[in-house]
Structure 1
Amino acid sequence: MDVNDPLDFELEDEFLKPPPKVSNKRRKKVIGLDDLLTDHLREQEKLKEEQNEQEKPKTKKAKKDASSYDDDEDPREAYLTKLVEKCENQLKDFGEEEDIPLWGVKVFGDKKAFPPLEFPELGSCKLLQSFLNSELNSVVELAAEKVLYSSNEELRNSSSDFWCAVLSSRKEVDQLPVEIGWFPEYSDLRTALDTHGFLFEFSSSGEPKNLDSDTGEPPQNIRAWLKFVTACCLIRSKRPVFSVVEAEELIEIIICLFLDRQFQGLLVLLNDCVEAIVNYFTDQEWHSSCENIAKFIASRVSKDLNCIQSVECIPVASSRCKQLKSAMAYQNLLSCFDGFLCQAHNGEDILRLLRAINFKDKSCDFFKMYIHLVLTENWVLSNSLIEDNPVIYEMFCLFLRQCSSLISASDLRSYASKVRHRAAYLMHFSIYK
């Protein structure tokens, strides 16, 4: 026995066995170009034979229609194709869905030439005179015949914040903390908007008149304008700034700004401004002014999604805002049914016409139905006096029940599901909660 030979137990252990010896012999056969060419020709011959076999006509096979599927086609795929075609034909029976535009109009058109800034009242302004005589004027070099104006946004905001702080100061009751020698009037605020092309008249289609697609940029100082109007409305007890008619027109202007999608980033300022103007009226003035504002907006806003936006943009922070929202929705509903043979003269007529609509009729316009539903919702639920009229309230509940139960869940017509779902939501979460 050789000393280097493994022991018996080492032979039994698989891990201790020595690795097999690898042969160092290599293949010495060299493949030549002739061999490669021969293999290639052989493969081409095989492919050709297989192709010929596939092209041979099949015997004893019935002919099929052009609409039927081939032998290698999956039957499930053919069934699915037929099912899709059937669904498409059913959709055509309801008519193609109309392209309904989103809400939004441009309220600023072509800019006008800036008028000469002439304010002779500033000559007697003590604050301005004191600044002209100070050493700081040597830096600004302000002359008495000119008005100081800056295009710098930071300076504009600072000046508007300064005036708002002065106007809203409550250190003394019913008295401003400083004596103001000159104060801008409503005509000055309106001129500022008109200069930037503000369009107060709307066409029947809801689009502003004389509007070029390349124009319509809002004024840069619109934030300062809104803040100043809000501050002026908050100081009526100290100094009435606007007349009743002017205050009504201010609310109408703010609602128009709500309809321009460019001002969606100013919703907080717009809400604060609406609340301040609404509270500017006395109780005696507000009753008639609320109806005047509602009639004005209803006569100028088109009866599409802009009609809904003009109502729902009003905040509900106070009872007066809710009253305005309800009045606007009611006037819009009267306007919607103005062309009917049986015109609506009151709330009961409106609900009677709504309940008479046949949802099964193919000519039923669910888009208009959706507008009527949202307007009715805002009219009824935002009006605290409706609770004292059980007839209106009961008719509204019956109308909601009709919309939620008579419109089928499988009705694929445009806006049918929106009407059904909104009515069902109002029934379960608003009316009976």
Structure 2
Amino acid sequence: MVMDEPLDFEEEDDPLFPAPRPTKRKKVIGLDDLLLDYFGTGKDLRKVKAAKTKHGPMGHDSDEEDKKGREDEICKIFEDCEEKAKGLDARDDVTPWGQQIFGCQKASSNLSDMGVENCQLLLSFCASEHLGFDLEIQQGEGFLEGMLMDGWLLKLVHIGGSVEDSIASWTLTKLLYSSNKKLQVSATDFWDSILSLDEDDKLLINLGYFPSYSVLKCSILSYGYLFENPGTKASTSESATADSSDAGPPHNIIAWLRVVSACCKIRKVCSIFSASEAEELLVIVISLFLDRGLEGLLIILGDCLNSLVLYFDTSEWESSCVMVAESIAKRVSMDLNCLRIVDCITGTNKRSKFLRSQLALQLLKINFGLKVGNVEKILKLVTSINVKEKECDFFRLYVYLVLMDNLLFSSDAFRDKTKIVDTWCNYLRNCSTQIACTNWGFYAPKVRNKASYLLQGAIFKKTGGDGNVSAW
């Protein structure tokens, strides 16, 4: 016996532990494997049907014919499903929201010949003998730029309590057109400060020059603003500016928004814009929400929008709101862009809610070709859409549902009209129940889910709750 070999009892199985059962290997057969086996290995029912021969007595032939009939029926069902699947895949998806608001930017001629060298502040520095250096008039603008960026110009203005018109005009031009980021931000902070009010709602600085509508409008047009002309579908004009390096959101748009907002906040002291001018500025600011390049500026855009909404007098607001809503509705198509433009008005004050409701009304009115914005007639047209019809355009219905909900519940104008609210709730209930779960038509599931969601919100608001149902 070799010493290294195991003993006899060591080779025996331990009786206390049962022997492990042999593992069974399971093969998972997926649907793809079955289809490959069905079509690739000759098991296609159509191939089997063609290859089989008749054998046996007449009774067996009858069974064989029944089997062939069932096979033909299965093949037909399969082919129908295949055609429907191809039809779903062939549809065009809805383009995402977004319009090209800015095109090619133009070089401004306002940066030259500013005349700032004749300002009293600069002349006083040139004539001073206590500076310790000689300052020439030709170096004046560069000297002022340094003072502006270092904050000394603002400190001198606060000490003196006033701003010369030439200095105010020069800093505004730098704010609107300068490509120097630091200079642009410093000019914006300068104007934010001199347009601030004290505790008595009075300007901290005596100011004779204010940013006018014409100056602001000229600057936004030089940025390449395209939303001005009615019917401009900026999303279809991308090829015109695709090859230009100057296309896209301008670098000075943040400064432009901030100075517009600052001008609106001093309405109690000085009405810089007329009602019609404020309307056009409001249309411009709302349209900027459609530019995907400005998504990072939603807070600044929202602040400017809210400042413009609150700028109007109480007597002006209702008519101005309708004018703004009509102007925007003529320029926005009935797709996800119109939902985006309604949803961007997020203010919780009564004016913002009324603007959102009016914008939804004007969009629906233009879509249905109505000259008068009759809510009852629009409601009748929307609720007449039968979701059971095969030709039902579920995407357009989805847009209608969101706009109607904003029209009826953004403001309090229709909350007490029980008949209108009940009609709308009944239609939402029909949309949520009459669209089958097996209906996978384009946007059909989204309409069903959105209708169910809006119905819950409508019932909550009807019972006295408050809150806004988002359009997204």
* Range class of TM-score, shorter chain: 0.7 to 0.9
Q: Deviations over 1:395-428 (max 9, x none)?
A: 2112211211111111111111111101101112
1:198 to 208, 222, 225: 225
Amino acid at match of 1:100: V
Q: How does 1:395-414 map to 2 (within 5 A)?
A: 395-414=423-442
Counterpart check, 1:164 vs 2:192? yes
Q: 2:216 aligns with which of 189, 202, 212?
A: 189
Tell me, yes or no, if the aligned pair for 1:366 and 1:419 is still in contact at 8 Å: yes
* Equivalent AA in structure 2 for residue 213 of structure 1: A
Q: Partner residue of 2:284?
A: 253
Q: Match of 2:99, as an amino acid?
A: V
Give the 3-state SS of the residue equivalent to 1:142 in structure 2: helix
Instruction: Look up the match of 2:11.
Output: none
Separation of aligned partners in 1, 2:99 and 2:349: 27
Bigger drift between 151-160 and 253-262 goes to: 151-160
- Separation in 1 of the partners of 2:303 and 2:440? 41
* CA 1:84–1:190: 2 relative to 1, 3 Å: farther
Given the alignment, which residue of 7, 19, 23 partners 2:4? 19
Distance 1:345 1:174, change over 3 A: closer
Q: Aligned partner of 2:393: which letter?
A: D
Residue 114 to residue 349, structure 1, CA distance change in 2 (3 Å) = same
- Residue 214 (structure 1) aligned with residue 194 (structure 2): no
Specify every segment of 5 or more residues in structure 2 that has no aligned partner in the other structure, as ranges. 7-42, 50-73, 142-165, 466-472
Note the 1:280-429 alignment, pairs <5 A.
280-338=311-369, 345-429=373-457
d(CA) in 2 for partners of 1:114, 1:428: 53
Among all aligned residue pairs of Structure 1 and Structure 2, give the percentage whose two residues are the same amino acid: 38
Is 2:109 the partner of 1:115? yes
**Does the C-alpha gap of structure 1 residues 95 and 408 become closer, same or farther in structure 2, counting only changes over 3 Å?**
farther
Matched residues in 2 for 1:64 and 1:269: separation? 64
Distance in 2, matches of 1:429 and 1:410, equals 25
2:82 aligns with 88
Distance between the aligned counterparts of 1:315 and 1:400, measured in 2? 24
- What SS does the aligned partner of 1:265 have? helix
Residue aligning to 1:67: 47
Shift of 1:382: 0.1
Instruction: Give aligned pairs, total.
Output: 366
- Tell me by how many angstroms 1:227 deviates: 0.8
- Alpha-carbon offset, residue 362 of structure 1: 1.7
Contact 2:125 2:135 (C-alpha < 8 Å) held by counterparts: no
Pick closer, same or farther for the CA change 1:130–1:66 going to 2, 3 Å. Answer: farther
Hey, what does 2:56 align to over in structure 1?
none
Amino acid across the alignment from 1:158: S
- Residue identity in the other structure for 1:108: F
- TM value normalised by structure 1: 0.75
The 8 Å contact of residues 160 and 228 in structure 1, kept in 2 or not, is answered as yes
* Amino acid paired to 2:311: Y
1:97 to 71, 85, 91: 91
What is the identity, as a one-letter code, of the residue corresponding to 1:178? I
CA contact (8 A) 2:335 2:399 kept: yes
CA RMSD in angstroms comes to 3.6
Q: Quickly say closer, same or farther: Cα 1:18–1:207, change in 2 above 3 A.
A: closer
Pair 1:229 & 2:278 matched: no
> Residue 55 of structure 1 aligns with which residue?
none
Q: d(CA) in 2 for partners of 1:362 and 1:107? A: 37
* Contact in 2 for aligned 1:355/1:402 (Cα 8 Å): no
| CA 1:417–1:20: 2 relative to 1, 3 Å | closer
Contact 1:203/1:300 (8 A) holds in 2: yes
Q: Spell out, residue by residue over 1:163-212, the C-alpha distance to the aligned partner (whole angstroms, 9 max, x if none).
A: 212212324x2421111242221111111111121111243656476942
Instruction: Sort the Cα spacing of 1:405 and 1:96 in 2 relative to 1 into closer, same or farther, 3 A.
Output: farther
**Counterpart residue type for residue 109 of structure 2:** P
Contact 2:362 2:373 in 1 (8 A): no
- Picking from 182, 195, 205, the partner of 1:178 is 205
- Superposition deviation, residue 306 in structure 1: 1.0
AA at the equivalent of 1:307: C
Shift in CA distance, 167/19, structure 1 to aligned 2, threshold 3 Å: same
Q: 1:98 to 1:132 in 2, by over 3 A?
A: farther
Kindly provide the CA deviation profile for residues 231-290 of structure 1, in whole angstroms up to 9, marking residues without a partner as x: 110011122111101111111001110011110000000000010000001100101101
Letter in 2 for 1:328: L
1:8 alignment partner in structure 2: none
Q: Is the 8 A contact 1:344 1:350 kept in 2?
A: no
Partner residue, 1:142:
140
Instruction: Kindly indicate whether the alpha-carbon contact (under 8 Å) linking 1:226 and 1:273 is maintained by their aligned counterparts in 2.
Output: yes
Aligned counterparts of 2:354 and 2:120: Cα–Cα separation in 1: 43
- Counterpart of 1:27? none
Q: Could you list the per-position Cα deviations for residues 299-325 of structure 1 after superposition, in whole angstroms to 9, with x for gaps in the alignment?
A: 111111111111111113311111100
Q: So what's the TM-score if we normalise by structure 2?
A: 0.69
3-state DSSP class of the match of 1:188? helix
Q: Which residue identity is paired with 2:443?
A: Y
